[in-house]
Copies of this chain bind each other. A is one copy, B any other.
Amino acid sequence: MPKPETDPTTQLDLRVDRSSPVPLYFQLSQQLEAAIEHGSLTPGSLLGNEIELAARLGLSRPTVRQAIQSLVDKGLLVRRRGVGTQVVHSQVKRPLELSSLFDDLEAAGQRPATTVLLNTVVAASAEIAAALAVAEGSEVHRVERLRLAHGEPMAYLCNHLPSGLLDLDTGQLEATGLYRLMRAAGITLHSARQSIGARAAVPAEAERLAEEEGAPLLTMQRTTFDDTGRAVEFGDHIYRPTRYSFEFQLLVRP
């Protein structure tokens, strides 16, 4: 008995352009991802097997597997031996990424504003030197910023960067986020180590953020590394918890 036709990918207009410089597996994964987001591939639906999909597109099976695997890694698909490949139910919206507060706010439509309070070179304290793996007392950039949304202060951001890594223009810092400037300067961000906590506001912090002394604050320290393993940034940030919280999705490593 022939199997009933239930492969939802047959309903899709999947095709690849072999003259494009975009890798074939990437073209396919993008189209599948778009179909999932658009709703053409409904959650729970079983994709047809890889061999048939490869034949239909004129691709080899490893290439199709690579496309599917990239979506599995993103959490959009689940593969089960002996069963098949399924679209995951429920929303997978924002996988955790190394996002800047600036990008977060912009994505939320909040039109963030930044006031640069300080942008100078200082001698590294013991703590900063340890975080950035530079000699204590050596020159580092220090940037202090106040981030506002809707005219209200939202966070106080203090960052230190190794000297000579990047030209930090105050105007640019007020127009965009630090990470964008670093990427634009050719720095390939690789990983970051974060610590998120909470504590009571001391008087200076309270005043900067328009809070009461002793008010709860959300804190984050982060050291960011580029792909050569250099520490490229150490941030000590304070957020008003009534205005901001950390929201993210994470995937369980298989």
Contacts and interface: CB of A to CB of B under 8 A. Distances in A.
A94 B189 CA distance: 18
A90 interface: yes
Contacts of A92: 191
Interface residues of A, number: 53
A243 to B, nearest CB: 10
A194 interface: yes
Interface in A202-240: 214-218, 225, 227-231
A131 to B, nearest CB: 11
B216 A200 contact: yes
B252 A191 contact: yes
A17 interface: no
Interface in A13-51: 43-44
Contacts of A244: 197
B247 A195 contact: yes
Contact of A253 (B91, B97, B246, B253): B97
For this chain, the copies found in one complex come to 2
A229 B89 contact: yes
A98 B225 contact: no
Contacts of A137: none
A229 B88 contact: yes
Contact of A75 (B73, B90, B191, B218): B191
A251 interface: yes
Contacts of A216: 198-200, 215-217
Given A88-B229, A191-B249, 18 more contacts: A44-B229, A88-B190, A88-B191, A90-B133, A90-B225, A90-B230, A98-B251, A98-B252, A190-B251, A195-B245, A195-B247, A196-B247, A197-B218, A197-B246, A199-B242, A200-B215, A200-B216, A216-B217
23 contacts: A43-B229, A44-B229, A62-B62, A78-B190, A78-B228, A88-B190, A88-B227, A89-B225, A89-B230, A95-B253, A96-B96, A97-B253, A191-B251, A192-B252, A194-B246, A195-B246, A195-B247, A197-B218, A197-B241, A197-B244, A198-B216, A198-B245, A200-B216
